[in-house]
Chains A and B, each alone.
Chain A
Amino acid sequence: MTETMIELSRLQFAATAMYHFLFVPLTLGLSFLLVIMESIYVVTGKTIYKDMTKFWGKLFGINFALGVTTGITMEFQFGTNWAYYSHYVGDIFGAPLAIEGLMAFFLESTLIGLFFFGWDKLSRHKHLLVTTLLAVASNLSALWILIANGWMQDPVGAEFSYTTMRMELTSFWDVMFNPTAQAKFVHTVSAGYVTGSMFVLGISSWYLLKGRDVEFARRSFRIAAAFGFASALSVIVLGDESGYAMTESQKSKLAAIEAMWETEPAPAGFNLLAWPNDATQSNDWQVEIPWVLGLIATRSTTEQIPGIKEIRAQNLERIESGILAVKALERLRKNKDDADAKLVFDAHQKNLGYGLLLKKYSPDVAQATPAMIQQAAHDTVPQVAPLFWTFRIMVVLGFAFALLFGLAFWYSLKNTFVEKTWLLRWAVWFIPMPWIAAEMGWFVAEYGRQPWSIFGVLPTHLSVSTLSEGSLYGSLAGFLGFYTLLLVAELYLMFKFARLGPSSLGTGKYHHETAAA
């Protein structure tokens, strides 16, 4: 295994996962907006709400197609490119993925056909039921995927078996109700709701600015403003919950996000802005708000949060203990009845993963030099600057969404939003922002977990498949090529139909149709 091969595998996974997540949040959010619109149609019987459901549903479909396409990649990439990972944790990680298919994705994918083609074949109530189940299923899908991802961040309910040489499930309950997973789930779906609302709000604003299909756009705007406002608030509150869960499970990520090099007396201050410097292990300058981090992260005034230097020092000890675990494991693999090895292994097993970190530098961990051990301990906290900045971009955007939706909601209550052209323009320009925030969020979650693929258990560099560099260059090029073409086709259609607006339904009632007639 070469360094290049590992880097290429990571790059391919990151690229395909981030690309997949361009399509997921809109599915999560827009599906519930469709439910709201269609419910109003069923209750009031007003056709305009049916047209709204159909039109936004059309855009939903264009997005959904690529969500499905890129999702299959994710399901198979663990096997193709992360074979050792798949073996090592498949006993736990595979189950939520399979259950996602059985419980959620089957339902979602079966019903989407009825959503599009069932309008004339189903009663109004039955069609609404289909739309509702579609939204619920897509969100359940997210639940199981985030249970899987939550377990990578915080591997509860499992233990290592030296006979099978892998992690094995001990409590599915713990995996399912893992606080990290639950916090991630609610934060992620809320982010999806913000994305869906921003999409509808922005495009509706564009129609209003153009003075086209005003009734259609006004109604869409109001629904998006209300749903978006609630979602933007919850994404902040639940993001905070995610941060709290991280304090328990991943102190290294927290310290890196906050550029907190030293352990400070509780409650620690929050670096609003700083210039982290990995070489000197300090910030060149920082703007600190006292107390805030301690309060957010520990919800107390007395609990200390360890700084990066302290975390590295603690992990150095864990690596030294881990070396003993790895050596004992090697003996147990040769003779599983070796009682002495068993004794050593049991004593140091909890640091096995830390011992494995050394394999990056020395295939035989017993041969590792003190410099290698030092380096491995240094690796246990990821680079600070990328995490520090991506996190802050996400947070600033989060508050900006709350403000924008707050104003949109306020003016829609007062029914004056159509005149507020500054607000409408803001909404149009902000359409891409939820995607940027979501990608930043995933970057923080995944890059922040490094050097681990399973936190504290399995280092990323051991997780890959034994492929040639040529294969990886080839597949990476293939993905980039395919994905670029698909994105061009998707954006072309998305823009085309967004510009056409409800005229694309062919009802004869909307802007381009009446203008032509």
Chain B
Amino acid sequence: MLDYESLKIIWWLLVGVLLLGFAIMDGHDMGVGTLLPFVGKTDLERRVVINTVGPHWDGNQVWFITGGGAIFAAWPLVYATAFSGFYWAMLAVLWALFFRPVGFDYRSKIENTTWRTTWDWGLFVGGFVPPVIFGVAFGNLLQGVPFHFDDNLVSYYTGTFWELLNPFALLAGVVSSAMITFQGANYLMHRTEGAIFERTRIWAMLSGLVMIATFILAGFFVAGLPGFVITSSVDPGALPNPMDKSVVIQVGAWLDNFNAQPLLWALPALGVLGGLAGVVLAYLRKPLTAFVASSLAMAGIIGTAGVAMFPFVMPSSSDPRSSLTVWDAVSSHLTLGLMFWATVIFMPLIIFYTSWAYKVMAGKITTDFIKAHDKAAY
């Protein structure tokens, strides 16, 4: 069995992998949802757009659900503290997601313009709102969140919902939304043709450029942001107890990891260069490679945020000692090991049958296809 310290680091990587899997997979259908009202002008066109992700959105959404479950199992204190602290933000994500299953499945079952338009906007909300909120949440994590624990490790969140909507967090929300829209646009181009393809192409280039610009801007912001540093000695193999450390807040500390390991600058570089490549490829009408490029860009962007904060996961601005880190917010050695093996066994299987499903359903969705499958298609 792997030692406790290695498992703690592996789980930080695995949560990152799940997050990236979510961004690539659920991200592209959320991006398609975001674009739906704008690139589909008629009911038939909107049905084309919806059916590009129709057979897949449900499986993709499980990246999100499994991500939540994995954080529960591997980082129970993070799951408990973040979800309850960000109560209204989490509910907004949840309620936005409500529109998706019913939007996809119920929309085209009734031929009524009001009914269908309502669900189109529902699908827009379900695709647009969650990425914005995740971005805003990340923006807040980078600044620290006001919470503390008592002696029994009961967590108390002392901020308000409105405090979450500060300028830096909103900027992070824009990065996230642009990134997901970009991803969705590249996918949608790959699966469509004609007018929808052309409209989507403009959106792809636009959202790609917004993503790059806001990501760079956020990078400059972070350099001047107070970061968090553990000042007590860390025993990475110790039993987790967040109250056992001391932490100070230092401006610019989020750059420490990059400065200590200059190779890590490759991550923000990947975010920018992957983004640029994606924009150029969208311009050249090569959506599949553009999709790969935007996926790499997301790996760079998410990786940058994760590495900047490492080993912190959820720093506390009001009581820095209560900050949650990869060392002290984790499950027991046994649970981390068990979940590691469960992931190692099932993740390749998931990737295998997901790829198969995409292969079976491959090809362009056209208006003729929808007309021919009027009753069966979404």
Q: List chain A positions with a Cβ less than 8 A from chain B.
A: 61-62, 64-66, 68-69, 71-73, 75-76, 78-81, 83-87, 90-95, 97-103, 105-107, 109-114, 116-119, 121-122, 161, 163-166, 168-170, 172, 330, 333-334, 465-467, 471, 474-475, 478, 482, 486, 489-490, 493, 496-497, 504-506
The docked-state distance in angstroms from the alpha carbon of A4 to that of B167 is 36
Q: Given the complex, which residues of A lie within 8 Å of B346, measured CB to CB?
A: 99, 102-103, 106
A109-B59 contact in complex given A72-B94, A478-B95, A504-B375, C-beta closer than 8 Å: yes
Would you mind naming 11 contact pairs between A and B with Cβ atoms under 8 Å apart? A68-B101, A71-B65, A75-B65, A76-B94, A78-B72, A79-B80, A95-B335, A99-B346, A109-B61, A161-B332, A482-B95
Contacting pair A95 B241 (CB below 8 A): no
B260 interface residue, CB < 8 Å from A? no
B166 interface residue, CB < 8 Å from A? no
Q: Given the complex, which residues of A lie within 8 Å of B58, measured CB to CB?
A: 68, 109-110, 112-113
Contacting pair B88 A471 (CB below 8 A): yes
Contacting pair B375 A505 (CB below 8 A): yes
Q: Which chain A residue lies CB-closest to B351?
A: A106
Q: Given the complex, which residues of B lie within 8 Å of A119, measured CB to CB?
A: 376
Q: Given the complex, which residues of B lie within 8 Å of A482, measured CB to CB?
A: 95, 98
A100-B91 contact in complex given A91-B331, A110-B59, A466-B157, C-beta closer than 8 Å: no
Contacting pair B65 A90 (CB below 8 A): no
| Stretch binding the partner chain, chosen from B183-191, B287-295, B336-344 | B336-344
Which of A81, A83, A161, A475 has the most chain B CB atoms closer than 10 A to its own CB?
Answer: A83
The docked-state distance in angstroms from the alpha carbon of A69 to that of B104 is 12
Q: Given the complex, which residues of B lie within 8 Å of A118, measured CB to CB?
A: 55, 360-361
Q: Which chain A residue lies CB-closest to B105?
A: A65
The docked-state distance in angstroms from the alpha carbon of A170 to that of B76 is 17
B155 interface residue, CB < 8 Å from A? yes
Q: Given the complex, which residues of A lie within 8 Å of B347, measured CB to CB?
A: 102
Chain A nearest CB, measured from B24 CB (Å): 15
Chain B, 302-345, contact with A by CB distance < 8 Å: what is the 0/1 string? 00000000000000000000000000000110110011001100
Chain A nearest CB, measured from B7 CB (Å): 13
The docked-state distance in angstroms from the alpha carbon of A105 to that of B346 is 12
A98-B342 contact in complex given A65-B106, A83-B80, A466-B154, C-beta closer than 8 Å: yes
A94-B342 contact in complex given A106-B59, A113-B357, A330-B151, C-beta closer than 8 Å: no
Interface of A is mostly: helix
Chain A nearest CB, measured from B368 CB (Å): 14
Q: Given the complex, which residues of B lie within 8 Å of A465, measured CB to CB?
A: 80, 84, 87, 155
Contacting pair B84 A83 (CB below 8 A): yes
The A/B interface has a contact count, at CB < 8 Å, of 247
Which of B54, B91, B104 has the most chain A CB atoms closer than 10 A to its own CB?
Answer: B91
The listed residue (A64, A102, A475) touching B87 by CB distance below 8 A is A475
Q: Given the complex, which residues of A lie within 8 Å of B105, measured CB to CB?
A: 61-62, 64-65
The listed residue (A80, A87, A112, A471) touching B155 by CB distance below 8 A is A87
Per the 8 Å Cβ criterion, residues 219-260 of B in contact with A are: 239-241
Q: Which chain B residue lies CB-closest to A330?
A: B151
Chain A nearest CB, measured from B372 CB (Å): 10
B283 interface residue, CB < 8 Å from A? no
Interface of B is mostly: helix
The docked-state distance in angstroms from the alpha carbon of A113 to that of B66 is 18
Contacting pair B84 A94 (CB below 8 A): no
The listed residue (A68, A95, A497) touching B73 by CB distance below 8 A is A95
Q: Given the complex, which residues of A lie within 8 Å of B91, measured CB to CB?
A: 80, 475, 478
Considering the complex of A and B, which 3 residue pairs feature the smallest CB-CB distances, nearest first?
A90-B76, A79-B83, A113-B55
Q: Given the complex, which residues of B lie within 8 Å of A113, measured CB to CB?
A: 54-59, 357, 361
Q: Given the complex, which residues of A lie within 8 Å of B104, measured CB to CB?
A: 65
A94-B90 contact in complex given A84-B154, A113-B58, C-beta closer than 8 Å: no
Chain B, 46-84, contact with A by CB distance < 8 Å: what is the 0/1 string? 000000001111110110111011101110110111111
A105-B94 contact in complex given A76-B68, A80-B84, A113-B357, C-beta closer than 8 Å: no
Contacting pair B95 A98 (CB below 8 A): no
Contacting pair A116 B87 (CB below 8 A): no
The docked-state distance in angstroms from the alpha carbon of A100 to that of B90 is 21
Contacting pair A95 B339 (CB below 8 A): yes
Q: Given the complex, which residues of B lie within 8 Å of A62, measured CB to CB?
A: 105-106, 109
Q: Given the complex, which residues of B lie within 8 Å of A71, measured CB to CB?
A: 65
Q: Given the complex, which residues of B lie within 8 Å of A92, measured CB to CB?
A: 335
The docked-state distance in angstroms from the alpha carbon of A76 to that of B56 is 22
The docked-state distance in angstroms from the alpha carbon of A119 to that of B152 is 56
Per the 8 Å Cβ criterion, residues 80-135 of B in contact with A are: 80-84, 87-88, 90-91, 94-95, 97-98, 100-102, 104-106, 109-110
Q: Given the complex, which residues of A lie within 8 Å of B38, measured CB to CB?
A: none
Chain B nearest CB, measured from A356 CB (Å): 10
Which of A111, A113, A122 has the most chain B CB atoms closer than 10 A to its own CB?
Answer: A113
Q: Given the complex, which residues of A lie within 8 Å of B77, measured CB to CB?
A: 87, 90
Contacting pair A506 B87 (CB below 8 A): no
Q: Given the complex, which residues of B lie within 8 Å of A478, measured CB to CB?
A: 91, 95
Chain B, 199-220, contact with A by CB distance < 8 Å: what is the 0/1 string? 0000000000000000000000
The docked-state distance in angstroms from the alpha carbon of A239 to that of B357 is 38
A101-B353 contact in complex given A69-B102, A333-B151, C-beta closer than 8 Å: no
The listed residue (B55, B109, B241) touching A114 by CB distance below 8 A is B55
A90-B331 contact in complex given A109-B58, A478-B91, C-beta closer than 8 Å: yes
Contacting pair A94 B80 (CB below 8 A): no
B266 interface residue, CB < 8 Å from A? no
Chain B nearest CB, measured from A293 CB (Å): 39
The docked-state distance in angstroms from the alpha carbon of A505 to that of B375 is 7
Contacting pair A65 B69 (CB below 8 A): no
Q: Given the complex, which residues of A lie within 8 Å of B73, measured CB to CB?
A: 90-91, 94-95, 97-98
The docked-state distance in angstroms from the alpha carbon of A94 to that of B65 is 12
Which of B72, B97, B153 has the most chain A CB atoms closer than 10 A to its own CB?
Answer: B72
B5 interface residue, CB < 8 Å from A? no
Q: Which chain A residue lies CB-closest to B57?
A: A113
The listed residue (B69, B80, B241, B350) touching A163 by CB distance below 8 A is B241
Which of B56, B90, B101 has the most chain A CB atoms closer than 10 A to its own CB?
Answer: B101
The docked-state distance in angstroms from the alpha carbon of A90 to that of B69 is 10
A164-B65 contact in complex given A90-B80, A94-B74, A102-B347, C-beta closer than 8 Å: no
B367 interface residue, CB < 8 Å from A? no
